Structure 1
Amino acid sequence: MWLLVLKKLKTQDVMSRWCAGNANLNLLCCSLCSRGPDSHEHLFFECDVAKQVWFGVRGKAGMETIHNTWTDIFEYLVGITKSNMAEHIIAKLVVAATAYFIWEERNRRLFTDRRRHKDQLVEIVLSTVRMKLHTMRFRNSIHTTRVMQEWSLPRGLLVADDDSG
């Protein structure tokens, strides 16, 4: 996530700055949609494929109103950075998992002949987040109960207020 936040992932736009004097450098198009440039701005989450994955997971993170630009997503995350509310923890996990699997798919398509469909990527993101949530404990509240039902999590992950501290 730090590499993404700092825009240091090795996308073609970043690598082109290393070779500024090389006129023969041809930038690749996005390996996910073949329409836009291989850049941070495009890949997270303006690319058609990445956008479809984002639309497939953002509702489960309570982020339906957040636009599909990295700037808007990042600004939302900054606003909830210190929050321990279940919904906010899930939002952070969903964004991190989505970015990770979009980047992984980008590399998979660049360096192999294997590719996954956007629906497969959505399910991978959601199942990864669900597995992580199984390792956590949450304070019992109406909001947490709703979130746990939404994610099909067992009630055993809830802790009473007097058990948590």
Structure 2
Amino acid sequence: MGKTQLFGGIIGLLGVLYVQANLPAPASSSRDTKKWIPFPTGLYSFSHTVSHLVGDLPTVPWHNLVWNSPSIPRMKFILWSAVQSKLPTLDSKSMSKHINICPLCSESMESHDHIFLNCSFVSPLWRFIKYKCSMFTALRSWEALVRWASAKWKAKNSGNLLRKLGLLVLVYHTWEERNARIFRGKKASQRAVCAKICSTIFAILKLGCFRDCASSRSILKDWNISPSCCRSPLRPPD
């Protein structure tokens, strides 16, 4: 180390010691506190930390359709991919080397429009979901359905929660059956897939995703679930 660097280091150390020596002594009764500078209240928040790091990003129209539905994360991930038409259906370029016929019906080219709306295998499943979840739509385009549902089911009420749950579970089990046929060579009947959809919705409803109100009790009654599975109106969401 040269003399100049050594001298500079000594001067810097003396400066630090001088500042510390002239700091006011804390009051005997005061305690150190932590403050999270990026947020005005000083309290740590994960969401505000992400916003601070990546900036404010625009909210997509289908945000509530995917993330505000009562379900488990892997189901939401499948729907998140589906609403963006990002699932690896056989009509995509990445799958162009494979046979692109729908593995569910073997009648048409597989696409998001086909497998989730127009497939003859999925049609009875849709009729069941529409009946049990009080959906009223005859759209034949997946993109149009996502736009419609995102705009129509914004209100936070029991009916919309049930519809979003029905759509999510239908998409998940349809994709699950499709993958089972392609990758494991296993086939389930429409009745079996419909039973899976029904049992999944039933199980999620029993977890208490509805607040206690007349509409919620009516929905649970239709699914043969005790009204005691409703949350108290004063209980915060999980």
TM-score under structure 1 normalisation?
Answer: 0.84
TM alignment of 1:59-74, pairs within 5 A? 59-63=131-135, 65-67=136-138, 69=140, 70-74=142-146
1:123 CA drift (Å):
1.2
CA contact (8 A) 1:46 1:68 kept: no
Alpha-carbon distance in structure 1 between the residues aligned to 2:173 and 2:124: 13
Question: Which structure's relative contact order is higher, taking Cα pairs within 8 Å and 6+ residues apart?
Answer: 1
RMSD of the alignment, in Å?
2.1
1:6 CA drift (Å):
0.7
Larger relative helix fraction: 1
1:46 CA drift (Å):
0.6
Give the SS at the match of 1:66. Answer: coil
Is 1:2 aligned with 2:80?
Answer: yes
Alpha-carbon distance in structure 2 between the residues aligned to 1:125 and 1:91: 13
1:53 CA drift (Å):
1.3
Alpha-carbon distance in structure 1 between the residues aligned to 2:101 and 2:167: 24
**Structure 1 residue ranges, 4+ long, deviating more than 4 angstroms after superposition:** none
**What is the aligned-residue identity percentage?**
23
Give structure 2 stretches of 5+ with no counterpart.
Answer: 1-78
Give structure 1 stretches of 5+ with no counterpart.
Answer: none
1:126 CA drift (Å):
1.3
1:87 CA drift (Å):
1.2
CA contact (8 A) 2:205 2:220 kept: no
Alpha-carbon distance in structure 1 between the residues aligned to 2:225 and 2:155: 20
Counterpart of 2:123 in structure 1 is 51
Structure of higher CA gyration radius: 2
User: Cα gap change, 1:137/1:46 in structure 2, threshold over 3 Å: closer, same or farther?
Assistant: closer
Is 1:75 aligned with 2:147?
Answer: yes
Task: Tell me the number of residue pairs that the alignment of Structure 1 and Structure 2 aligns.
Answer: 157
- Of 184, 195, 201, which aligns to 1:123? 195
1:83 CA drift (Å):
2.4
Alpha-carbon distance in structure 1 between the residues aligned to 2:165 and 2:80: 14
Alpha-carbon distance in structure 1 between the residues aligned to 2:127 and 2:98: 31
TM-score under structure 2 normalisation?
Answer: 0.60
Alpha-carbon distance in structure 1 between the residues aligned to 2:158 and 2:145: 18
